[in-house]
Chain A
Amino acid sequence: MEGIGVAARTPAAPAAPAPDPVARTGGRVVPIPGSAPPLALPAEHLLAGLGFYVAGGVGLAVLAPSLARGGYADPRVAAVTHLFTLGWITTSIMGALYQLLPVALGGRFPSRRLGHLTFGLHVGGVSLFVCGLATGRTGMVIAGAATLGTGLLLFAWHLAAALRGAARRDTTWRCLAAADAFLVVAVSLGVLLAVNLRTGFLGPGRFLLIALHLHVAAVGWVLLVIVGVSRRLLPMFLLSHGVTEEPGRAAAWLLALGAAVLALVHHVLPLSALPAGGGLLAAGGAAFVGQGALHFRGRRRPSLDPGMRLVAVALALLAVAVVLGVPAMLMPGASPRLATAYVAALVVGGLGLFVAGHQYKILPFLVWHHRFGPVASERPVPMVAELFARGPALASVGLQAVGAAGLVGGILAGSPAVTRAAALLLACGALVETVQLAAVARRRPA
């Protein structure tokens, strides 16, 4: 294995042509931003997120008949949805932000201890909440909601504190700041829904509130984070520097405005504002897909690694979600299967696979950075991509891609068999990725 180390390369190559003269540099020295936390904090989040991902995949397979009927109102479907949104996606995002924000924006989370505390509250709360929903125990649902809500609000405060002290305030910073605000709104709407379980005070209005809660969480929180960090991650992983960032900036504004409209519809804006909010979200989603496509088209890396292949699939399924979301929004309640397929394309495909692709990049990188980097100058160390086997990773990518696409297709076709088979493929793919990355997390230099 070759690495940065002095003795790592094959014997010195023949003398290379001399680099360009120093006069080209202009001479301005820019400081390197602050350091990231120890490996444990992001790693515990990323690994727990993977565990929720596998559980969510299995849950989809169990609920395939309900999904194929378009049974989005089934509490067990809500349980599995939260395994993905809160357990898989949000836990992974939290872990990634602990690493990314200090490096990318020069901010610092004030307390590692608070990070571990919010992790415990969040993971414990999600587990309780999902079990309660799946088994119909209202008390457990409310206890879980209170626990995870506390964890999420503490995390939101922690993120806000890190953003407040950030050295750089660019589009990424604005996306994260807006996403943080929408996280608080999503938690608030979720609390209303949890209270409604006991009191029923929302009446038929609960269906509207469920849709608003879903979109503020999935788009206002998750997708805005993804749009913000993609500005840094996609060029870095694809070597696509120099690609125009206008579609990404437009996506950020459109998604933030759309999520704000939806957040206000219930209490401030009239229901007639819903199509405007939905239209903004669709336009924002399309703009982000366009930005991602530009990065992939403009990449200088000759071949895509497993993680970036999965991200490409995620972008394609996000485009599918945009296409399905427009009729689902214009004809609410007309086709439960369409609505269910739309949510599957958005949450499992677009958002979930995007996170899965980046997990294949971020966790091995963190392990290399913390464990192999410090000794890389002294002895040969593997490359980041060599920390896990490429073959199983590609198999996992294929399983997840076919599984997520098949899930959407199975629901649209109303086929429980196709839906279940696709969910099982997805779960197998998630399991392979989890096993691989758990092994990476244990790796240390020889």
Chain B
Amino acid sequence: MSGSGAGGAPLLHPGAAGIAAALRRVVDPEVGLDVVRLGLVYGIEWTGQGVRVVHTFTTPGCPLAGHLERAMRVTLEALPHVGEVELRYTAEPAWHPDMIRGWG
């Protein structure tokens, strides 16, 4: 459990760290790194109804876009107490290999 409601009551959602941990199970099948380590996840925020993940792809028009988005959605929707899952794709800033957080 992490986070707190407007009135200070604890929320049951897993928190940004829990969401990021879950997204580390989503792996780019070409590069072999998960989307968090690859630096594709730009932000995680809680909305009134659930979680919003702002993400990019390694290139605009990435042929794996559909697979990665579906896998992220399935992964997050399987978590308890997450609510609605919103995936927001953005190309700004453009992804760059410097965003990779280590190999192996």
Say whether A21 contacts B60, CB under 8 Å: no
Cα–Cα, bound, A14→B29 (Å): 22
Say whether B43 contacts A383, CB under 8 Å: no
Cα–Cα, bound, A207→B68 (Å): 54
Residue of B nearest to A372 (CB): B29
Query: Which residues of chain A have C-beta atoms less than 8 A from B58's C-beta?
Result: 236, 239, 241
Q: Which chain A residues numbered 232 to 278 have a C-beta less than 8 Å away from chain B?
A: 232, 235-237, 239-242
Is B81 an interface residue, CB under 8 A from the partner? Answer: no
Query: What per-residue 1/0 map shows which CB atoms of A81-125 lie under 8 Å from chain B?
Result: 000000000000000000100011010000000000000000000
Say whether A373 contacts B67, CB under 8 Å: yes
Say whether B90 contacts A30, CB under 8 Å: yes
Query: Which residues of chain A have C-beta atoms less than 8 A from B71's C-beta?
Result: 4-6, 376-377
Is A290 an interface residue, CB under 8 A from the partner? Answer: no
Query: Which residues of chain A have C-beta atoms less than 8 A from B34's C-beta?
Result: 9
Say whether A26 contacts B92, CB under 8 Å: yes
Query: Which residues of chain B have C-beta atoms less than 8 A from A20's C-beta?
Result: 42-43
Query: Would you give the shortest CB distance from A140 to chain B, in whole angstroms?
Result: 41
Name the one of B64, B68, B78 contacting A6, with C-beta atoms under 8 angstroms: B78
Is A33 an interface residue, CB under 8 A from the partner? Answer: yes
Known: A23-B43, A29-B91, A369-B67. 13 other contacts (CB 8 A): A5-B71, A6-B78, A9-B34, A13-B24, A16-B21, A16-B24, A21-B45, A25-B90, A28-B90, A32-B65, A236-B59, A239-B31, A373-B64
Say whether A29 contacts B90, CB under 8 Å: yes
Is A18 an interface residue, CB under 8 A from the partner? Answer: yes
Query: Which residues of chain B have C-beta atoms less than 8 A from A29's C-beta?
Result: 88-91
Q: What interface size band does chain B fall in?
A: 35 or more
Residue of B nearest to A16 (CB): B20
Residue of A nearest to B68 (CB): A4
Cα–Cα, bound, A31→B21 (Å): 27
Is A446 an interface residue, CB under 8 A from the partner? Answer: no
Given contacts A21-B43, A383-B27, contact A241 B63 (CB under 8 A): no
Given contacts A22-B42, A22-B52, A29-B89, contact A2 B27 (CB under 8 A): yes
Query: Would you give the shortest CB distance from B61 to chain A, in whole angstroms?
Result: 4
Say whether B21 contacts A27, CB under 8 Å: no
Given contacts A9-B34, A15-B20, A377-B74, contact A25 B43 (CB under 8 A): yes
Query: Would you give the shortest CB distance from B58 to chain A, in whole angstroms?
Result: 7
Q: Which chain B residues numbered 35 to 88 have a C-beta less than 8 Å away from chain A?
A: 36, 41-45, 52, 54, 56, 58-68, 70-71, 74-75, 78, 88
Cα–Cα, bound, A374→B43 (Å): 26
Is B18 an interface residue, CB under 8 A from the partner? Answer: yes
Taking Cβ atoms with an 8 Å cutoff, the residues of B that contact A are 15-18, 20-22, 24-32, 34, 36, 41-45, 52, 54, 56, 58-68, 70-71, 74-75, 78, 88-98, 100, 103
Name the one of B25, B61, B93, B96 contacting A24, with C-beta atoms under 8 angstroms: B93
Query: Would you give the shortest CB distance from B57 to chain A, in whole angstroms?
Result: 8
A-B contact count (CB 8 A): 161
Query: Would you give the shortest CB distance from A61 to chain B, in whole angstroms?
Result: 35
Chain A count of residues within 8 A CB distance of the other chain: 59
Query: Which residues of chain B have C-beta atoms less than 8 A from A33's C-beta?
Result: 60-61
Is A3 an interface residue, CB under 8 A from the partner? Answer: yes
Query: What per-residue 1/0 map shows which CB atoms of A12-56 lie under 8 Å from chain B?
Result: 111111111111111111101100100000000000000000000
Query: Which residues of chain B have C-beta atoms less than 8 A from A26's C-beta?
Result: 90, 92-93
Say whether B16 contacts A19, CB under 8 Å: yes
Residue of B nearest to A302 (CB): B103
Say whether B32 contacts A385, CB under 8 Å: yes
Query: Which residues of chain A have C-beta atoms less than 8 A from B41's C-beta?
Result: 19
Query: Would you give the shortest CB distance from B9 to chain A, in whole angstroms?
Result: 22
Say whether B29 contacts A383, CB under 8 Å: yes
Cα–Cα, bound, A122→B71 (Å): 39
Cα–Cα, bound, A106→B63 (Å): 11
5 tightest Cβ-Cβ pairs between the two chains A and B:
A22-B43, A300-B97, A15-B17, A26-B92, A9-B25
Is A368 an interface residue, CB under 8 A from the partner? Answer: yes
Say whether A383 contacts B32, CB under 8 Å: yes
Say whether B20 contacts A17, CB under 8 Å: yes
Is A153 an interface residue, CB under 8 A from the partner? Answer: no
Residue of B nearest to A369 (CB): B63
Say whether B36 contacts A32, CB under 8 Å: no
Name the one of A21, A106, A369 contacting B64, with C-beta atoms under 8 angstroms: A369
Cα–Cα, bound, A99→B94 (Å): 23
Say whether B97 contacts A242, CB under 8 Å: yes
Given contacts A3-B27, A18-B20, contact A32 B43 (CB under 8 A): no
Cα–Cα, bound, A235→B54 (Å): 23
Say whether B25 contacts A12, CB under 8 Å: yes
Given contacts A25-B42, A369-B64, contact A6 B20 (CB under 8 A): no
